[in-house]
């Protein structure tokens, strides 16, 4: 695989045109506290108006997490959000000669994305011990996409908090979440 600005050949792949220079980008951010909200987006991964992408994995690690039960989903929002500020741009982990990524990952919106009509993945994440116990740090929830989730230009994928069986306002520390996204673009 070559990097840089050499000529690009667009190859068909199951209906989607890709460049011959897919490059792996990876980024990690810490999401803000969720508290007791439910039915909300946790983060959104957006492509630029010109670039395709293949999302290969999402790793989520909880930190300071004392809520009872989360159901998390991955899907394409019915309507893409408008990110309030760019919370992080995914850069390639190595090779300074690699083109900078145009993928944006955001967790703060002027207009949030809307819930996917159907989810591509959903998983349950639970604390050890349940409500009001010692916060369970480091719980991991991973989503893997063997062939990648194809993303066309100006589209997005959301990580959605489907349900949140928490106990409100009993001095629970707010959960923070670290998320790592690997993406080919």
Partner 1 sequence: MAIFSLAQRTSGAASSSAALEIIAGANNAFSLKELGITINAATASVFGMGQPAVKGTTPTSVTVLAEDQGNTTAGNTAGALTWGTGPTVPANFVRRVSLPATIGAGLVFTFPRGFNVLKTVTHVLWNIVGNSVADVWFVVDE
> By the criterion CB under 8 A, which residues form the site for partner 1?
13-17, 52, 68-69, 71, 73-76, 118-126, 145-152, 155, 162
CB of 94 to partner 1, least distance (A): 27
CB of 13 to partner 1, least distance (A): 8
CB of 85 to partner 1, least distance (A): 25
Q: CA separation (Å) from 134 to 36, 70, 139, 141, 168? A: 17, 17, 13, 19, 16
Length reported for the chain: 185
Q: Which is nearer to partner 1, 150 or 173 (CB)?
A: 150
Q: Which is nearer to partner 1, 13 or 89 (CB)?
A: 13
CB of 47 to partner 1, least distance (A): 9
Cα angle 139-144-148, degrees, rounded to a multiple of 5: 150
Q: Which is nearer to partner 1, 69 or 91 (CB)?
A: 69
Quick one: how far is CA 166 from the chain centroid?
22
Q: Which is nearer to partner 1, 25 or 52 (CB)?
A: 52
For residues 113 and 76, what is the distance between their CA atoms, to the nearest angstrom? 9
Q: What is the DSSP string of 33-45?
A: P-TT--SEEEEEE
């Amino acid at each position: 695989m070559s990097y840089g600005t050499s000529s690009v050949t667009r190859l068909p792949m199951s209906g989607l045109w890709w460049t011959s220079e897919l490059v792996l980008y990876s980024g990690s951010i810490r999401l803000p506290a969720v508290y007791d909200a439910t039915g909300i987006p946790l983060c959104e991964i957006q492509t630029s108006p010109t670039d395709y992408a293949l999302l290969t994995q999402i790793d989520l690690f909880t930190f300071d997490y004392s809520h009872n039960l989360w159901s998390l989903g991955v899907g394409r929002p019915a309507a893409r959000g408008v990110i309030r500020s760019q919370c992080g741009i995914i850069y390639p982990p190595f090779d300074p000669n690699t083109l900078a990524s145009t993928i944006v990952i955001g967790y703060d919106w002027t207009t949030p994305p809307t819930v996917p009509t159907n989810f591509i993945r959903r998983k349950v994440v639970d604390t050890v011990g349940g409500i009001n116990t010692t916060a369970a740090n480091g719980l991991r929830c991973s989503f893997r996409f063997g062939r990648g989730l194809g993303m066309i230009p100006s589209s997005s994928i959301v990580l959605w908090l489907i349900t949140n069986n928490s106990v409100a306002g009993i001095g629970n520390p707010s959960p923070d979440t670290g998320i790592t996204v690997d993406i080919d673009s």
